[in-house]
Structure 1
């Protein structure tokens, strides 16, 4: 049974939770278009610790959503996770942020679950899972057009994430549903991170980096 601090900062949602034995104890998160991760993340970590009967020294591990997503958000989240792990001498866990999305609450059964986050213009970060959350296609940056995902036209599909809004505008898939108001959240991480902890699927704290997927391009 592990006490894990979960951090998710890959999108405009800055999210922190503490889970024990896979069950959420406390959650602090805020979604803003201004990306206030630098100002909010450590405050949320402090509030999360204060919200349960533990201290930082009681943590068994820190887990972080590794991306893909916002370059700045990922750097902030991963830096915080690595710093806490290094200071406390505890292991680091990570989870693909699209995989986190796939663990959202579902009101019905689907043949496929396709999480996607907005990557600007008509591009999204996406991955395809079957109903058991086994990966069918790898994580990719995909430019959407009317032919995208047509090979699954006969499947009952859930598109989830802020990228699902543009997918709904472009795609014609009669059996698809679109949950566009869902973002990756630390509240979705507890069970998967407990499993990774028990299997000792730890990252190298010194060398771990965010999963950016695309090269950074600076603008004026």
Structure 2
């Protein structure tokens, strides 16, 4: 009987995959590649190698989870297409996990006294914008995901009453705005991981929170703009 959740994280420059057991949430294995613009050509290879190295096959996968966004438009589309293709082919459920919630989950797990802070994952949205949200140590959503314009301090009210721990590839853009604010702390080098996506996906599977494979689209948060290449 299929007993694994396969998780895909493609919302950032890091492409990662992970396997978790459904019965006890144990991490079976993970693999990642830190190469720019490599998701489309390497994602399926990472999945195949992870399954082979873990001595499992696709027939052991009970559901596929994908990082839902926000994040890179191209990366999210690649992850969604791969996840939907696997779910169609294997006739198994699709799970989608908030990228920001998963990012907060992985930082909270390694934070001393996590109940003392609010976790603020931030992803670069280009120009002077970031995608951000606020979560408590147990994953409760305090401020829903939103694009924040960094022309002023958009989190002034929260910083006035709480200690915020900020991280993700957009946090460095926010840091100069709150350089003199004692309630803002920053962590560098934090990237989204399929491991945290998988942990949340196992919980979602148990709640039967499946997505429609045919109509699922990533949570881009902002409209996708495309342009015609110049000749």
Band of TM-score, shorter chain: over 0.9
* Pick aligned residue for 1:111 from 117, 120, 130: 117
- Conserved? CA contact 1:23–1:190, under 8 Å: no
- Conserved? CA contact 1:163–1:180, under 8 Å: no
CA distance in 2, matches of 1:149, 1:138: 12
Paired residues for 1:38-117 under 5 Å:
38-105=40-107, 106-108=110-112, 109=114, 110-117=116-123
Q: Does 1:27 align with 2:30?
A: yes
Q: Provide the residue aligned with 1:148 in structure 2.
A: 154
Q: Provide the residue aligned with 2:226 in structure 1.
A: 218
CA distance in 2, matches of 1:199, 1:2: 16
TM-score (norm 1): 0.94
Any runs of at least 4 consecutive aligned residues in structure 1 with deviations exceeding 4 A, and if so which?
Answer: none
Structure 1 spans left out of the alignment, 5+ residues: none
- Conserved? CA contact 1:22–1:193, under 8 Å: no
* Pick aligned residue for 2:127 from 121, 128, 132: 121
- Three-state SS of the structure 2 residue aligned to 1:101 is helix
Q: Provide the residue aligned with 2:170 in structure 1.
A: 163
- Conserved? CA contact 1:85–1:92, under 8 Å: yes
CA distance in 2, matches of 1:27, 1:132: 23
Task: Give the superposition deviation at 1:107.
Answer: 2.8
Q: Does 1:190 align with 2:191?
A: no
Output one character per residue of 1:122-163: Cα deviation in whole Å (capped at 9) or x when no partner: 100111112322111211111113422111234221112111
- Conserved? CA contact 1:22–1:192, under 8 Å: no
Output one character per residue of 1:87-128: Cα deviation in whole Å (capped at 9) or x when no partner: 001100110111110112333224211111000121001111
CA distance in 2, matches of 1:164, 1:25: 31
Task: Give the superposition deviation at 1:194.
Answer: 1.2
CA distance in 1, matches of 2:186, 2:152: 16
CA distance in 2, matches of 1:132, 1:153: 22
- Conserved? CA contact 2:153–2:177, under 8 Å: no
Task: Give the superposition deviation at 1:200.
Answer: 0.6
Structure 2 spans left out of the alignment, 5+ residues: none
- Three-state SS of the structure 1 residue aligned to 2:225 is coil
Greater shift, 18-27 or 81-90, is seen at: 18-27
Q: Does 1:137 align with 2:143?
A: yes
CA distance in 2, matches of 1:41, 1:195: 24
